[in-house]
Structure 1
Amino acid sequence: MLYALDVFGTFVFAVSGAFRALKHELDLLGMMVLATATGIGGGIIRDLLLGAARPAAFRNETYLLACLAGGLAVFFAARKIAPRWDCVMAADAVGLSVFAAIGAEEAASSGFGALGIVMMAAITATGGGLIRDVLVREIPVVLKTDFYATAALAGGACLVASRAAGFSVRFQILSAALTAFVLRVAAMRYGISLPRVRRLAHSPSRLTMIRKGAHDAGKAERDEKGRLDPLSGRPPRFGSERTRG
């Protein structure tokens, strides 16, 4: 059951990556690249951090096929999928929760500490999206607006707590996945988000721009004065009325 949900989550993540390619009007290859990066990127990062010689996505081709299927689905049926975007986002929440739970459990099984388990849950769930956004030169969504990584972190924390309480591995995974899923769906339903940092009115970068602008204006004024006649204060006139023409 968990494996089926994992493959399903990979497919849904690939669909979201393909739609980002659609937004930037990439070709078919570009769409496949973004779909694949989004679908398996987080899992590959997780496996490499856990010391796996071969990431699971390359040992089991089902994950790659799920990514290709997601990309092709958007390429040929984007107009039919877009009106059902709420369903896609709900499925995406399922993928997020499963990825977070699997990442946390893999880290726990490898002997990671509590913080490592929580971080691995977030990396597994959001790594593909981070790669996707970097490839199209956008600020990663998980760092700006969506209550996405936070839900994954909460899922990882839930697994740590249930593990410390002595619950079975099955219960740990289910509780972590359910926690991440409920938080993500609640965030989408009620518009929950973390507080955002607002730019300062007199931030260092803004003051630097103001000083540079004032310096450039002063330099232009000095250059203009240097071109004026020192006696008349007007631009110099070359020749006279008699010698012209």
Structure 2
Amino acid sequence: MAGEAGVVANAAEGSGLGPSTSSSGSMKLSIYPTPIPELVLLDTPSALEKRIGMVRREITGYYTGVHSQAQGIIDRWINIEEKVESRIKSFRDPTEPLNPGLLYTGISALTTSVITRSRGLPTRIFLPPAALAGAFIYFLPRTAFRIGSYAEELEDRYVPRFGEIRRTSIAHSGIALERAKEGVAAGRESVNEGVKSIVESIEQGTGLKLKAIGWAQEVKKEAQNIVNGAQKDINEARRVADGAIESKTSSSDSEDSKRLV
């Protein structure tokens, strides 16, 4: 029996049977061929490669963020340039030629700066800009009005308190100017009344008619003007008459000469 078991084991080994486990626990060969195991290569980076990749990703993200921010700034700047260009074009009045107006304005400012270069510091600082603004308003009034309206709009938008103070100051200045004009007119009337009272007192004290003398002088001036005008008319009529006589004389001489011929 033991011999038969050995023969069976040898036959199993020769036939290529796989390993099997007997009741006694010994290994037996399988009847199928053993498959070749597949080799699987696992890409396991090292710690240095991981660190380099992390740094590269951080740098790429930082560059992308900086580029997007720079592009956003450029886009905003281009938008601002377009707005400024459109606003400047809106200031121009098509009925006003800019070529001579701006040239005259620059010449006025340059001339003022040359004249005031030997003056005091406040004069050199404030007078050329004042001349520039005055010349610009004089030569390009409609364009200056549009720019002033836009400046008032910005003033009301950003510094409304300053705009109120400025308008109040301008209104008070206008009122003060009107009062000054009224005062000058009242002073002139008072001076005329004083002179009139003095003349009347002199007439009452001396018996002279100063008013009549003054009126007589005015009448005399008017009469003299009339006489001068009449004299000019007479001289002109005399000149015309002399010319007619000379032409008549020359025509009669020519007729006599023709008759003689």
Give the TM-score, by structure 2 length: 0.22
Max Rg structure? 2
TM-score scaled by structure 1? 0.23
In terms of fraction of residues, the more helix-rich structure is 2
